[in-house]
Structure 1
């Protein structure tokens, strides 16, 4: 299929997928002539990319036209829609076109239906940090791809240390592969701990500090996260996810539910065995506290989206959350 549409917020995985497309379709000797990247944020730039895509490649290999940061799957004028269909129907057999976007395609849009007809659509979204089961599966898959054997406790250590950072995961696994080249036994947590920086603070640690009303630790953690270039909205999203999970656990407990599988289904937890540990975390809390905390987090999200100072806004919300959990 000569048309590709990649979307999601995992910039690293998208960049790796784009590199693979370039290596597959474009002759390196003719790359300067047959590969172009256009930041197609407006219709005129999209049209420019479409015009280049219908041009046959020069010399050897194929042509690849990359239209980055496009919004065609969210909004698309009738004239551009017609041009897209015309281009898709007249692409040379040796010309490929790639669209990338951060947002999920709008299934109601005509342009999305057109892309579904002509394009290979792939999602590259970061796994939410609180979905540790899914991150563990990603670690196992990435390790298998480079023939690196890891024990279950080594996988757990990597999940805690790296979170959902796919770029760092790749770097850490490559480092472990080089340092333990030729080892046939699965690497254990004890073996990899000296090589993997496990001091990286994450938003789940921040959630735990808030849960225990530890204002000093919570403020230290949020400062560390911001120093490590973590985005305020992403910190907020992780906290919302964690508090939502805790709220579901508490609501199910208060309703009298005792079946961990039923609780896991309601809270959208992949591994029912994790419910036991979550129950321990919400001991001493009640659903009212957790609901108040979620309302604070939703207000925080709105303030961040309206451009308020990230550091001050986060610090104020963190203090308010800790006080709400202490009451």
Structure 2
């Protein structure tokens, strides 16, 4: 006997309801928005955690004795998205949602630069940072490092000062009262001890290949420190800066740019050129610029760098003092964050780990 045929079920039919129209419209709008978010270019860049890179393997000093070290000094990077390749709104929105990322207006980070121009400037900043790091490290070890330059470039002038009536941004000062000032250090030295109201003869160039001209400029008192005398210019730097190192110091940071590895590279050079370990055999992470006098400067993306240090398992994170609080908010609880103002502060923090950071051999003395 054949089995009885199953009783047919009634077809499934959805009753019409106005809500379906609303949901349909919302679905179309959502799909359109997501698609547009991926296609329409957003005027933003995203700072995301980057990497933690050992400095010691990147440093070589041909013809000079170097030493194996326990532990390492890590320099930290940030992943900058949206600089070379413009991102969509969906990617920018994801950066806002992620707790370890920061989103900034593109112009606030790049100014008027294209992605390629920003990259070239970043490479130049890294090259200068490496030179300064080598200079600071070798001088700390007792070597003499003569500084060479062809003048002091003015980045800006202080408004409503006598200098503003004579000098302009990007003028190059070559002498004060007839004394050559090929470097910014020599310019500062020539102005030291002068009094507000005193006039000095400033020799400068305006424009590439232009003839030198000399004008009198009246010195002024620093409004924040009346005992300090100013020329009336700010953010000066040496044109064609070069350091006459006693031996080559080569640093291969591959495609990493920017100046924020300066302190880490300085510490790495000290570690490579001296016996023992300045980190006490531990892995420590470092970020911060370094200037020729050993002062540590602020950097960007400290929160993202703190995340990278935590992911790498660093025990200690050295950052510029002004950014220590921000780094602590992003770093894991087992990462000690220490703010530093200069190289001596950094070496003292490393000495507390049990290394020999405060007992380095005076190899250049």
Return the TM-score normalized by structure 1: 0.27
Give the structure, 1 or 2, with the largest relative contact order (CA under 8 Å, sep 6 or more). 2
Rg (Cα) greater in structure: 2
Q: TM-score, normalised by structure 2?
A: 0.25
Q: Name whichever structure is richer in helix by fraction.
A: 1
Bigger proportion of residues as strand: 2
